[in-house]
Amino acid sequence: MGPQSSRDTIASLLTQAESIGIESAWIVDHIAIPPDDAEGSGGRYLDPITTLAWMAAKTTHIKIGTSVLILPYRPKLPTAKSIATIQELSDNRLLLGVGIGWMDPEFKALGIDRHQRGKISDATLQFFHDCFEKDVVEANGQAFLFRPQPPRPPIYVGGGAPHAIERAIKYGDGWLPMGALEKIRKDIQLYREKSEAAQGKPGEVVTFGSVEGLGAAEAEDRLKTYEEAGVTRVVLGQKYDTADDWQSAFEVLEQISK
């Protein structure tokens, strides 16, 4: 988003992250920011699906993810095709974080009833599963072959408890909550208990944090608190103007990994 979403900045960040062994790089999704809500971005957001394809071509082994792709914004069949294509051409490196959306102006710009976003998202998620699991898929009464058909990328359902937890258990491989760790700690435990009961093992938990301004020992301690709370993947973020602003964080993470 914003001026930081330039080709050179993204490419530099990917190169640095991949070179030190960062596991995955994640991008966000907005499609129609109104003028009165453009602070920080200027209304500039790259399309996530197109950007993921570009990121895959720029890298060799780092995973690429969305946090989150808003499901009601896009027709389910073309979206499933794009996801499968990225998964195939990236050699199965896609991590698919999804959400139902919240911003009224975006739904209005798209001509979509915001109150139907949960229903649309559930139908889209079920369709994704069909596309990656069935030999013949059906849409609007028409049967068709869904190819390519690589392994389905893991799906992480974003949103708050309890609805997102139930959706994650039914359709996903993990839950992707936002918020301070202490505020979501109990819900994380609830999700892991419910997902284990339903699926035989606790689902993954992906959430957001930062090590900005921390030394290696402090950063390692902070990440351990996430692990102890049941978080399986932390997506680190911070404010930056250029790729160089990430240098200190990358150095800390490299020290921890050793």
pLDDT digits (tens, 9 = 90+) for 249-258: 999 999 998 7
Q: Which amino acid is at 124?
A: T
Q: Which amino acid is at 105?
A: P
- Report pLDDT for 17: 97
CB 125 within 8 A of CB 90: no
In the predicted structure, residue 5 carries a pLDDT above the cut 90: yes
- Report pLDDT for 258: 79
- Owner of token pair 């309890």: 162
Of 123, 105, 115, 96, which Cα lies nearest the Cα of 30?
105
Which positions ≥6 away from 180 have C-beta within 8 Å? none
Per the prediction, the chain carries an average pLDDT of 97
pLDDT digits (tens, 9 = 90+) for 41-90: 999 999 999 999 999 999 999 999 999 999 999 999 999 999 999 999 99
pTM: 0.96
- Report pLDDT for 13: 98
- Report pLDDT for 153: 98
Angle, vertex CA 27, rays to CA 26 and CA 30, nearest 5: 155
CATH 4.10.410.60 is the classification of domain 2-153:
no
- Report pLDDT for 242: 96
Classify strands 136-139 and 142-145 as parallel, antiparallel or unpaired. antiparallel
What whole-number distance in Å separates Cα of residue 157 and Cα of residue 173? 8
In the predicted structure, residue 33 carries a pLDDT above the cut 90: yes
pLDDT digits (tens, 9 = 90+) for 168-213: 999 999 999 999 999 999 999 999 999 999 999 999 999 999 999 9
- Domain ranges in the chain are 2-153, 182-258
